[in-house]
Amino acid sequence: MFTKYYCLDTNIILEDANNIFKLSDNGSNLIILPETVLDEVDSKKSGFDEINFQARQFARILELAIVEETKLIDGIKIVVLKLEQPQDVTIHIISKENYIASSKNIAINIFNDRKILEIVTFASSYYEHSIEFLSLDIMARIRAISLGLDTGTLTGTKSDEFDFNFEKNLEIKFEDLEFIDGGSIYDFDSEYKPHNFSYNFKVKSSDQVVLASIENEKIKVLDESEVRDQIVTPLNKEQLLFSHALNSPYFNVLIIDAKAGSGKTLLALSGALKKVRKKDYQKIIYIRNSIESLDKGEDVGYLPGLEEKFEIYNHPLMDSLDYIVRADYKRKKSNKQGFTPLDEDEANSRIQDMITNYAISTMWVGEMRGRTLSNAFIIIDEAQNMSNKTMQMVLSRIDSSCKVVILGSNNQIDNFYVNKHTNALTTLLKSTANKTDLVHTFAIKLQKVLRGPITQWAEDLFSNENGK
């Protein structure tokens, strides 16, 4: 009757309640939900974080369902639900009177995983069809595999693995130099694609390299003196290209995929300060997903504030501000005799002054619904930990008078409810494959670690291990 049979873990629903529609494929596939999944979703309905909204959305979906049949088989109950609007979906909810698993001396999440897998095991024999257990939790999938069960995860849509050339190298003739700035990119690169945002033009038979971005399919050569005129000086060509895009009035949405320690947050904040100082924007808003790597994805949430909460929950921002005030002080005082670095009290005082003078604030995602953000330079950090729904909600609050910089790294996913295929960072990076006239996007990868050799060593070691 059905083409595929999917048994869903709780995180599949809390990642996006509409996943049941995608997986059902207009009724051609059966959706199986263990009662434990319903219990876990129900426990998440209160709150203002993304998973709470998804839990409530799923409850609204179930309200539209009709109970077609109830079966009782040897202490196991199957409730057949039929949903015809907005799409045709068949859901079987399965519960047991008595579970083999015991809650004695084990964490509740492990107990719940074992109960869910008991339902998957039953379903595999009852339906006489291969059941695929879908979960974003690698531990739950490994437990399923150990029981001989088929398992999988959400992998998004087409082109799950991608490696866009956001930055291209191209050789040009010396006589082309006078025509390159403002020229059509197609005159130099017939294979230009929308995601080729930056070019390194190497002059043939010389060591000269010209850095440029592509703006409306025209070549814009970087004015390096203008780009470097900020508190934090770019240290390599990727940082120069990023800083140029930060300063450019053309680009209004920047998507940055960067390794830890590559300077993404520091440069974004330095660029924001420059734009506010020039009165291009009135304020700086910093949004960071504060989800921690806790069991079962219990998240800290998004917290506002300019006092204690500001510092506690936004350490990357505070660290960047601390670096900037010290670097600015050093730049102004280093040529004078008797220079001494700032002490902690003076540095903290200057940070608070900067927060006030540049109208720097953080925003809780839960308070953004129904609001409109205007005339602001907005930095969205840790995008790899944001779901598509969260990012959609955040971006839909921003009007055309703003500039948005989205930062993230798929090597540092902490959110239990997303993976590298389904998170907002990946979705945004993929979107650059297609041209849009709605916004002017820019994307780049910052691959060089500048924090120090320990960070570079850790990135190389563990990234290589994870890639095996």
Residues 360, 128: Cα–Cα separation, whole Å: 60
Structure tokens at 269: 């904040």
Residues 394, 425: Cα–Cα separation, whole Å: 13
Delimiting residues of CATH 3.40.50.300 domain(s) in the chain: 232-467
What pLDDT shows up at residue 116? Answer: 96
Q: Which residues pair with 92 in a beta bridge?
A: 32, 80
Sort 47 into a burial class: Cβ within 10 Å, 0-12 / 13-18 / 19+. Answer: middle
Residues 189, 200: Cα–Cα separation, whole Å: 12
Sort 129 into a burial class: Cβ within 10 Å, 0-12 / 13-18 / 19+. Answer: middle
3-state helix/strand/coil string of 341-368: CCCHHHHHHHHHHHHHHCCEEECCHHHC
User: Which of 196-210, 402-416, 450-464 is least confident?
Assistant: 450-464
Q: What is the fold, at CATH topology level, of the domain defined by 4-152?
A: Rossmann fold (3.40.50)
Delimiting residues of CATH 3.40.50.1010 domain(s) in the chain: 4-152
Positive or negative torsion for Cα 361, 366, 367, 371: positive
Asked whether the predicted pLDDT for residue 273 surpasses 90, the reply is yes
Provide the whole-model pTM: 0.77
The domain made up of 232-467 is a member of CATH 3.40.50.300: yes
Q: Band of the pLDDT at 389, cuts 50, 70, 90?
A: confident
CA distances to 257, 377, 393 from 291, rounded to whole Å, are 19, 23, 17
The per-residue pLDDT for range 156-171, each reduced to its tens digit, is 544 455 678 899 999 9
Q: Residues 5-23: what's their mean pLDDT?
A: 93
Asked whether the predicted pLDDT for residue 142 surpasses 90, the reply is yes
